[in-house]
Amino acid sequence: MVKNFEDVQKLGKDNMEATLNSFGVLSKGFQAIAVEMADYTKKAFEDGTAAAEKLFGAKSLDKAVEVQSEYVKASYEHFVAQAAKVGELYAGVAQEAYKPFEAYMAKASAK
């Protein structure tokens, strides 16, 4: 009976350690994602402001259309790049958060 109690106690401790490690990884990962998104938002705002200044300074309709087209194209390219980068960050966070449980699951399936 004592052996079973010790096994259950060790299992609970191992599970708690894996969970806390996973939460730590998730916390750091989501902080990195938040910083990345804040930087992207700041850059997008700056780019939009610069494009608006160019647009207001355009002397002709053709120049205004050209400025607007360049801005839309650049914004789309930056958005796609940012979406890919954030997707990679989320995938990395998920993989790192699962790592503490890999060893735990391997031990559990071996028994």
In this structure, the number of other CB atoms found within 10 A of the CB of residue 67 comes to: 19
Q: List, as one string, the DSSP characters of 15-71.
A: HHHHHHHHHHHHHHHHHHHHHHHHHHHHHHHHHHHHHHHHHHT-SSHHHHHHHHHHH
Give me the pLDDT at residue 75, please.
96
User: Per the structure block, which two tokens stand in for 27?
Assistant: 């916390």
**Residues in the chain with pLDDT values less than 50:** none
Provide the pLDDT for residue 6. 78
Please report the pLDDT score of residue 111 as a whole number: 59
Q: Whole-prediction pTM value?
A: 0.75
Backbone angles phi, psi at 75, to 5 degrees: -60, -40
Radius of gyration of the chain (CA): 25
Q: Residue 53 and residue 81: Cα distance in Å, rounded?
A: 25
Query: d(Cα 50, Cα 52) in Å, to the nearest integer?
Result: 5
DSSP 8-state class, residue 105? H
Q: What is the pLDDT of residues 62-88, one digit of tens each?
A: 999 999 999 999 999 999 999 999 999
Q: Which amino acid is at 63?
A: K
